Every structure is written in C-alpha cells, then in structure tokens.
C-alpha cells in the first residue's frame, strides 16, 4: 500500500484572502463534542468577544490550515516570531542571544524585550526567511543555557509574500 508524502501545498488561500465576508460561500456542518470542553470553549469565545461560535471555529480552522501549510520546514519561506523566556541574570546569556541573532541577521527583522519580573525576560524575535534557516535559529536559541521557554510561530510565506491583488 502506498503512503502519501506530506507535500507543501503550492498555495493555500483562505476564503478571507480571496473573497469578502459577504461573498464567501458558507457551509454548515454538525460537530459532536464533549460537553465540558464545549462549555470551556464557549467561555473563551465570550472572553475574547467573538460574535459567534462559528466565527471562533472558523478562526481555529484557519490557524490549523496555516500551521499545517508550513510543512515542517518543507515550504521555502515563512514570516513570524520566535518567542523566548529567559533569566536575564544568567551569566553570558544576553551576549549569547545577541551573537546568535547577529549570525542570523539575514532573517532576523527585529526583536523586542519585556521584563516580566526581577529575573525573567520575554523576548520576541521577528523573523522572515527560509523555513529551514528559521528552524536552525530556533534550535540555536533553545540550546542556550538559561532559556526557559522557546516557541516558534510562523505563517507560510507563499500566501504572505504574494502581493498580487486579484
């Protein structure tokens, strides 16, 4: 039996990118879900001021499609952030982070730091470039002693870099 390889889609355009909300064709479907989970979801919908449950589900599906379309590094370009939390009192940590960002200056667009408390700092590194190189940067940052958390959030560059207005 042949298995399908996970290939990067040529380009995924979500309805919001190709049509106005008034022009988008809507589909209705039923979902069976654990009652407790739905109650928690509804609480979050309300807390985040979603107008309807449908809009919240639509956003979740769009985010999932975007996440999957990055193809674990097989798509050529991405844009996004590397978010890190670290103890800024750790010896040599700040100079090591700066050095790494300089080594990747072709994909590091900017960075922003925010002190959370006396020891912890949150830093957001804005990146744009080859997905494989972004993952390499993430790996280098994660390897620095004193990094408590590092997470990558990216969007597929194929749709984002497309400047053609249809």
Q: What is the pLDDT of residues 23-78, one digit of tens each?
A: 678 889 898 999 999 999 999 999 999 999 999 998 888 777 766 655 554 567 88
Q: What is the 3-state secondary structure (H, E, C) of 21-47?
A: CCCCCCCCCCCCCCHHHHHHHHHHHHH
Q: Which pLDDT score, from 0 to 100, does residue 150 have?
A: 94
User: Predicted confidence band at 132 (pLDDT cuts at 50, 70, 90)?
Assistant: confident
Assigned CATH for 74-161: 3.30.70.1150
pLDDT value of residue 6: 40
Residue 165 has pLDDT above 90, yes or no: no
Matching residue, tokens 């590091």: 108
Name the residue among 65, 62, 66, 69 with its Cα closest to residue 6: 69
Average pLDDT over residues 105-122: 95
pLDDT at 9: 43
Global confidence as pTM: 0.60
Percent with pLDDT over 90 in the chain: 53
pLDDT of 159 above 90: no
Please state, in angstroms and rounded to a whole number, the distance separating the CA atoms of residues 111 and 73: 22
Q: Which of 20, 13, 57 is nearest to 156 (CA)?
A: 13
- Distance, in Å, from the CA atom of 51 to the CA atom of 37, rounded to the nearest integer, reads 19
pLDDT above 70 (res 15): no
Query: Which residues lie across from 127 on neighbouring strands?
Result: 80, 108
């Amino acid at each position: 039996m042949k298995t399908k390889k996970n290939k990067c889609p040529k380009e995924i355009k979500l309805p919001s990118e190709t049509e106005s909300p008034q022009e988008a064709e809507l589909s209705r479907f039923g979902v069976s879900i654990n009652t407790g989970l739905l109650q928690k979801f509804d609480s979050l919908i309300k807390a985040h001021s979603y107008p309807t449950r449908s809009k919240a589900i639509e956003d979740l599906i769009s985010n999932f499609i975007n996440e999957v379309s990055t193809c674990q590094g097989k798509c050529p370009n991405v844009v996004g952030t590397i978010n890190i939390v670290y103890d800024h009192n750790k010896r040599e940590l700040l100079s090591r982070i700066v050095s790494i960002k300089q080594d990747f200056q072709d994909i590091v667009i900017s960075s922003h730091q925010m002190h959370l408390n006396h020891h912890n700092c949150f830093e957001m590194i804005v990146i744009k470039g080859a997905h494989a190189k972004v993952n390499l940067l993430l790996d280098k940052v994660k390897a620095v002693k004193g990094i408590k958390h590092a997470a990558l959030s990216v969007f597929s560059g194929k749709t984002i870099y497309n400047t053609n207005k249809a």
